[in-house]
Amino acid sequence: MIRTPFIAGNWKMFKTKAEAAAFAEEFKGLYQGTDVKAAICAPFTDLDTLVEAFRGTGIGVGAQNVHFEPSGAYTGEVSVGMLEEIGVDYCIVGHSERRQYFAETDETVNLKLKALLAGPIQPIMCVGESLEQRDAGELFDVVRRQLTDGLAGIPEADIRRVVIAYEPIWAIGTGRTATPEQAEEMCAFIRQVLIELYGEDAADEVILQYGGSVKPANATEIMNMDEIDGALVGGASLKPADLMAIIDF
Ligand code: PGA
């Protein structure tokens, strides 16, 4: 099974609408003739602008969060249907910053995945351990629980559309990348858990990304790993040339 490499930028809370438009203009010119899939996951206020700017380019657009209810009295939230109408392709779910600061749990991750998978938007589900959990030798237990609870009740037909990003919390925005071997070890473990849950054929099709201080200088060695099919890129996705250098790994 050949999995198409997939690099997604995660802008977090950076870039206004005008800044997003300027980025898109420059990035469109750089992203040509590559087989690597690319997407930008941006603040809600940038999504419309990016969808318009990237139309016909093959560059995807993603949100960074969504609510699991279709509508209701949830001040400050955005529904799957609202994202669909804009034409968004992807949505990050369960990023560690949302787990840490916005009370995201495996249960809400599960509800959001189910809400997204009922429509066309592909989820990018984030998992990963803290430094304390790694040092205590709990890393595999933590990630197994995030996977089994987060994916509970999601059928085999749908798992193929879920992108899973392994993002060790200690490597995010710290400049401290996991070694390619550490990233590969966990991605191989994730694939193994997926085989247990869904069988080999389905597990083989799932795109696994690594995220945490990915930059042009370390993209090649990370992307060359067997079980790593892509990257979720924070800081280095803010500059078109840096993101393009990672896509050109
Ligand atoms: P970083 O962020 O590349 O800035 O470490 C990655 C992420 O949080 O997705």
Q: SS3 string of 147-207?
A: HHHHCCCCCHHHHCCCEEEECCHHHCCCCCCCCHHHHHHHHHHHHHHHHHHHCHHHHHHCC
Closest ligand 1 atom to 213 CA: 5
Helix (H) or strand (E) holding 139: helix 139-150
Nearest CA to ligand 1 atom 1: 234
Instruction: For residue 183, give Cα distances in angstroms to 55, 61, 68, 168, 178.
Output: 33, 25, 30, 9, 6
Strands 163-166 and 60-63: unpaired
- Span 155-164, mean pLDDT? 97
Nearest CA to ligand 1 atom 9: 234
73 Cα to the center of ligand 1, angstroms? 32
pLDDT at 73 over 90: yes
Question: Residues near 214 by Cβ (< 8 Å), separated by ≥ 6?
Answer: 177, 222, 231, 232, 233, 236, 246
d(C-alpha 136, C-alpha 40), whole Å: 34
Question: Where exactly are the structural domains of the chain?
Answer: 40-247
CATH architecture of the domain 40-247 equals Alpha-Beta Barrel (3.20)
Closest ligand 1 atom to 211 CA: 6
Question: Residues near 20 by Cβ (< 8 Å), separated by ≥ 6?
Answer: 42, 46, 49, 50, 53
**Known active-site residue 67:** no
pLDDT tens track for 103-139: 999 999 999 999 999 999 999 999 999 999 999 999 9
The catalytically annotated residue of 104, 129, 167, 227 is: 167
**Known active-site residue 95:** yes
Both structure tokens of 104: 């995201």
Ligand 1 binding site (Cβ under 6 Å of any ligand atom): 10, 167, 172-173, 211-214, 232-236
- Span 191-201, mean pLDDT? 98
Q: Tell me the whole-structure pTM to 2 decimals.
A: 0.98
93 Cα to the center of ligand 1, angstroms? 14
Nearest CA to ligand 1 atom 7: 234
Closest ligand 1 atom to 96 CA: 8
The per-residue pLDDT for 185 is: 98
Q: How many helices (H) and strands (E) does the chain have?
A: 12, 8
d(C-alpha 178, C-alpha 222), whole Å: 9
pLDDT tens track for 5-40: 999 999 999 999 999 999 999 999 999 888 999 999
Neighbour-count burial of 207, counting CB atoms closer than 10 A to its CB (0-12 exposed, 13-18 middle, 19+ buried): buried
d(C-alpha 80, C-alpha 88), whole Å: 10
Cβ–Cβ under 8 Å, residues 182 and 143: no
Closest ligand 1 atom to 214 CA: 3
d(C-alpha 244, C-alpha 214), whole Å: 12
